[in-house]
Chain A
Amino acid sequence: MATVELRRVNKTFGTHQAIQGLDLSIANGEFVALVGPSGCGKSTTLRMIAGLEAVSGGAIVIGERDVSHLPARDRDIAMVFQSYALYPHMTVAENIGFGLKLRGTRRARVAELVDEAAETLQLKEVLGRKPKELSGGQRQRVAMGRAMVRHPQVFLFDEPLSNLDAKLRVHMRAQIKKLHRQLTTTTIYVTHDQTEAMTLADRIVVMNHGRIEQVGTPHELYGAPVSKFVAGFIGSPEMNFLDAVVEGAAETCDLTFADGSRLSLGPVHAGLPAGRPVTLGIRPEHLHLAGPADPPDGRLSGLVEVIEPLGADTLIHVVVAGRTLVARLAAKVAVEVGDRIELGVDRARAHLFDPASGLAL
């Protein structure tokens, strides 16, 4: 176990700056997920920590050591790759024990440690098989076994579940979480799947265009996103956005939408000057079918476009002010496609963003 620190880390490929002045501190034993869209620099960051990519500037510190210019083998890290990267010519046992063997561990001790890892990951029956004889889930576990057997200071995961089917992914997610609780090794996990990040990580780092947009616990990112980008990236289905203009008294924050309809957000968002353009953000779960408790100025009216029953709840796509909003409603809801309905807004949980910068207001 060790702390990991990135200090003003830069990475350039030719003239393209992939990572720009990244600062990040990861505590001992913490599970941190790096998320973001393709090309945001999350994998490059992980590869720089691993020593597979040279840093162009700044420093990477693991424990007390500056490892920025050390080769991968001297960083005391282990990595699980998206494609598992198992050695096809070696058996499962040889794959798991390869790193130990290279480090000069005695043969008996290698066998003991491989056995231990195989026991934890339920791989004992397949120790003598070659990777091509294994299922996707087993290969994934072998890759994890290879990483954990050396008891490294840091685990690095590069989208390790993206090659698995949905059911196996959920199962393996639980396995990784259990394993982290058991080993308490500092873990950095790259994924583009925000659900994976939310369910696994102690803290999530949202990246965009080679920069960190926000770092926080899953709860913080969900509840208080610092930008429209983070708000849209965290949460599924993603947050609804509607462009509006602030009107009327500053203490009530009344919004007017493109079609002239209005919504009053009340005192929570007070203080914005009249005439200011804003982007309203509301999560699907913070919309509901309007009832008597919803004031008339706290409703949005729209036409039902699509109904998606999910079993536990139903997603309704409603066209409001020319934009389609998604609302997460109860499983059984008496609504038909083409109905005009009124949606009540949980106004205290609505977000406002600056349309130009995308930053939260």
Chain B
Amino acid sequence: MPLTPSPRTIKTAVLTVLAGIWLVPVLMMLAVALMPPGQRAAGFGGLAIKGVSLASFGTAFDRAPILLHFVNSLIITVTSVVLVVVISSLAAYAFARTRFRGGESLFYGLLATLMLPIPALIVPIFQLNKTFGLLDTYWGLILPYTALGVPFAVIIYRSFFSAIPQELEEAAKIDGCSTFGIWLRIIMPLSWPATSVVVIFQFMTSFNEFILALVTMDSNSLKPLTLVPLIYAGPFMAQPGPMFATLTLITIPVVVVYLLMQRFMIGGLTAGAVKG
């Protein structure tokens, strides 16, 4: 009898191949970051290196105050994550539970903003920051990141909130909760899966954002981590080692946040996507 692989095996095999392809750039980054200083380029499409060295990481820490930039990134990212969670969950609660004139149009308007690519917004955001005196300040990045993160978060929260049985809120009303109390004490504690999706997504996009940071931040002491690799770019990318070592360092916080919250994230995506 010929052996036919089960659909599950086929699925696993396809996903493994895809994951492998996805991993190639990450491996290339690691390879260059760990390349000994004498080597000029990694072989085999950038994956093969002769020997392993942490010298590039040493250079990265010597040449720039990595920790300071890391703290800058954290201040900007964490503030925007908190703002996005609070603003979008409150807005989504209103969208999910109240009927008001123009509510649907407002929601679809919000969805439409997702279609705008960040590069298209650079000039207007720069102008706004300039007008409000926010250039070269943390708020010059925190506020745009928050504004750009809210629409996606509202979609996730709204579909999640819609699936929460209304009787729970009614029971809380009778128990003595105000509308804000219901949001705070019932809805948000039940929405950890949705919150983890929003946190991961917002953390990832804010922490990794480059273009807006490049045009907004001028003072070295305020620059986020993503601007540090530019130091090593030079005309012919003269120092790929320290540059990729810094890029490796940038990925670590995102990976840590993902690992901490991925358990909820999978449930959150399902729960948010399927109204049950």
Contacts and interface: CB of A to CB of B under 8 A. Distances in A.
6 contacts: A50-B170, A50-B174, A72-B170, A79-B174, A88-B190, A89-B189
Interface in A58-83: 71-73, 77-79, 81-83
Interface residues of B, number: 16
B190 A78 contact: no
Interface in A24-62: 50-52
Interface in A282-341: none
Contacts of B173: 51-52, 71-73
Lowest 10 CB-CB distances: which A-B pairs, in order? Answer: A99-B175, A102-B176, A85-B171, A85-B167, A73-B176, A72-B173, A89-B189, A72-B174, A81-B167, A79-B174
Interface in A72-109: 72-73, 77-79, 81-83, 85-89, 98-99, 102-103
Contacts of A87: 168, 171-172, 186
Contacts of B168: 85, 87
Interface of A: 50-52, 71-73, 77-79, 81-83, 85-89, 98-99, 102-103, 146
A103 to B, nearest CB: 6
Nearest to A83: B167
Interface of B: 165, 167-168, 170-178, 181, 186, 189-190
B190 A81 contact: no
A85 B181 contact: no
A226 to B, nearest CB: 34
Contacts of B178: 73
Contacts of A78: 174
Nearest to B179: A71
B171 A73 contact: no
A85 B186 contact: no
A81 B170 contact: yes
Contact of B171 (A71, A77, A81, A89): A81
Contact of A102 (B167, B170, B181): B181
B56 to A, nearest CB: 47
A24 B176 CA distance: 26
Nearest to B186: A87
